[in-house]
Amino acid sequence: MTTHEFFNSLWKDYIQITPQAEAVRQLFMGKGEEVINDHVAFRTFSESPLNLDKLQAVVESLGYKASEQYRFEQKKLLAKSYRHTEDEDAPKLFISELQVHELSQPVQKILRNVIGQIPADIELDPSIFWRGRLWEMPSFAEYETLRNESEYAAWLTTIGIRVNHFTVSINKLKRYDDIEQVNALLKQSGFALNSVGGEVKGSPDLLLEQSSTLADKITLTFSDGKVASIPSCFYEFAKRYPSADGRIFQGFIEGNADKIFESTNAR
């Protein structure tokens, strides 16, 4: 599978549960812009057949190599970023992993039941990133237990292994090359932004500015018959700046990402 085919498949799956993303893309295209992706992000569980190491092998088969590692203490996450070894213009990848053993016993029990439903010999290829939930839907009470401790765990358990967000590269926009302009256009067009820590996360001094919409909602039926509307995915926007050597910064900032994660928090 080529990287072009990979991202096309991801996008098709993504907009099924994130219709705002296609609306945003059309908004920018209507302004004469070409929308180019900076990176995509995925979420997964530790201690599972889909842990970070297992998924890393899949992205390596697409020509990607691990670039940097990150730790989010409060959210109990490890993460790695990946860059393509041959194509500089290929979007970056960001995969985070929930550290199950660091959570409370009631939450661990729910998650281990979920993880136990994933076949140990599951076939891992690029399609794993749009297969969705590979386990039974939890009960609404279990969802609430997860959400009260870890919004990330609640999201992953209900949405599954799917792209969490795409990211528009502001650097590649011609007319809207400033993050404040991008945010203003989005708000004028009726899109709600993640305001945790301010609408703009980061700064030119940190070499990266990011903003994001709030996640769309999806209506799901839980195993106990409860029907509820919960967060699905969101759309992000990133502006990168050159470092002292003149090269555009290609990494991520933990303080920024920590707040971006909250785009899928239930509100």
**Residue 119 pLDDT exceeds 80:** yes
Match 């969802």 to its residue by tokens: 143
Quickly state the pLDDT bin for 173 (edges 50, 70, 90): very high
Quickly state the pLDDT bin for 263 (edges 50, 70, 90): confident
Please state which of the four CATH numbers 3.10.180.50, 3.40.50.1260, 3.40.50.300, 1.10.3720.10 is assigned to the domain occupying 3-264. Answer: 3.10.180.50
| Domain chopping of the chain, boundaries | 3-264
**Residue 34 pLDDT exceeds 80:** yes
Give CA–CA dist 267/175, Å, rounded.
33
Give CA–CA dist 8/39, Å, rounded.
13
Strands 234-240 and 208-212 come out as antiparallel
Give SS3 for 186.
helix
Phi-psi region for residue 164, left (φ > 0), alpha (ψ -120 to 50) or beta? alpha
pTM: 0.94
Enumerate the β-bridge partners of residue 56. Answer: none
